[in-house]
């Protein structure tokens, strides 16, 4: 657990009064378990979570408006929040270890190989001077592939798994469409054989048809490979389509959490009710019924 000064308000235990028990309440170990997480920039605390967990083989939706702390939470899980100037405290447990207590070298072994992340704009996260195939090969050689031939074979298999032709390995990132870039990012997680996928607004910049294809791919990763997914989105319609459970985040706090059907059909918190009411409905024009 990283330390902060005694004047930091995050030094107090966090208690939000919510029932965070999910599908792993039977005693099995969740894929990711967060306790008393505090993320701050200087004296300003932007995230404060008592408890959040992603169950084994579960898709958890983390929903809320822009700026509510969803992406910072994902960055903290990967140990990347300090790279943008944040101070992180608390406990994030994965495979029996506290990720916040790992050394930089130990964290590099976790990133990609065990926990992968798909960003909102994957093209911006790819090195533009490397072809897609080079990005795959370099990542796979760092995370377990024995040689370039094995890395290339795993890359081709992963691209086929997301319904892309292997010849895309010869392209540069700027030569990919938005949907292709998201599929490539998901394929990289597939090739690395990650256990957990952090998907940060992966459909927000895509048209509706491509959105549906990406959601189907994420669901297949869970159904066919048992991958656990933290799916971050401000779009409740997308979250409702995909997720088993939903945690609603506002101003860095979880204000409501539960099975997706319960949260969407009978929201308890006024903020959740406002989000649900804001979802566009077919036939509703100009605010009419």
Dump the DSSP string for 75-108. HHHTT-GGGGT-EEEEEEEETTEEGGGS-HHHHH
pLDDT at 13: 40
Mean of pLDDT values over 197-226: 87
Percent of the residues in the chain that have a pLDDT greater than 70, as a whole number: 87
pLDDT at 153: 96
Candidates 2.60.40.10, 3.40.50.300, 3.40.50.2300, 1.10.1200.10; CATH matching 58-80+109-278: 3.40.50.300
DSSP string, 132-184: HHHHHHHHHHHTT-SSHHHHHHHHHHHHHHTT--GGGGGS-GGGS-HHHHHHH
pLDDT at position 4 over 60: no
pLDDT at 144: 84
Is 278 strand, coil or helix?
helix
Mean of pLDDT values over 173-198: 91
For the chain, what is the mean pLDDT?
Answer: 86
pLDDT band at 22 (very low <50, low <70, confident <90, very high): very low
Percent of the residues in the chain that have a pLDDT greater than 90, as a whole number: 63
Higher pLDDT, 121 or 96: 96
Mean of pLDDT values over 159-179: 93
Mean of pLDDT values over 134-155: 93
Measured CA to CA, the distance from residue 14 to residue 216 in angstroms comes to 36
Mean of pLDDT values over 152-166: 93
Instruction: Check if the beta carbon of residue 63 is closer than 8 Å to that of residue 275.
Output: yes
pLDDT band at 207 (very low <50, low <70, confident <90, very high): confident
DSSP secondary structure code for residue 111 in this structure: B
Higher pLDDT, 53 or 22: 53
pLDDT at 28: 63
pLDDT digits (tens, 9 = 90+) for 216-265: 989 998 998 899 999 999 888 889 889 999 999 999 999 999 999 999 99
pTM of the model: 0.84
């Amino acid at each position: 657990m990283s330390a902060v000064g005694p004047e930091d308000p995050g030094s107090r235990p966090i208690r939000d009064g919510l029932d965070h028990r999910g599908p792993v309440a039977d005693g099995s170990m969740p894929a990711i378990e967060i306790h008393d997480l505090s993320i701050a920039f200087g004296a300003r605390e932007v995230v404060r979570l008592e408890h959040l967990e992603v169950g084994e083989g579960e898709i958890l939706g983390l929903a809320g408006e822009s700026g509510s702390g969803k992406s910072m939470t994902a960055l903290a899980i990967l140990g990347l929040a300090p790279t943008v100037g944040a101070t992180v405290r608390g406990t994030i447990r994965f495979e029996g270890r506290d990720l916040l207590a790992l050394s930089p070298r130990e964290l590099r072994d976790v990133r990609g190989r065990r926990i992968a992340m798909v960003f909102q704009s994957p093209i911006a996260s790819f090195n533009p001077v490397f072809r897609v195939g080079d990005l795959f090969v370099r990542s796979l050689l760092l995370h377990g592939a024995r040689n370039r031939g094995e890395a290339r074979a795993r890359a081709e298999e992963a691209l086929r798994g997301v319904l892309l032709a292997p010849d895309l390995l010869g392209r540069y990132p700027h030569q990919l469409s938005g949907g292709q870039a998201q599929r490539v990012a998901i394929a990289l997680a597939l090739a690395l054989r990650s256990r957990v996928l952090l998907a940060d607004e992966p459909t927000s910049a895509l048209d509706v048809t491509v959105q549906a294809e990406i959601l189907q791919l994420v669901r297949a990763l869970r159904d066919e490979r048992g991958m656990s997914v933290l799916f971050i989105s401000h779009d409740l319609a997308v979250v409702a389509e995909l997720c088993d459970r939903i945690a609603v985040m506002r101003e860095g706090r979880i204000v409501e959490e539960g099975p997706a059907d319960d949260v969407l059909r009978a929201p308890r918190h006024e903020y959740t009710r406002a989000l649900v009411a804001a979802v566009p409905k077919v036939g509703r024009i100009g605010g009419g019924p």
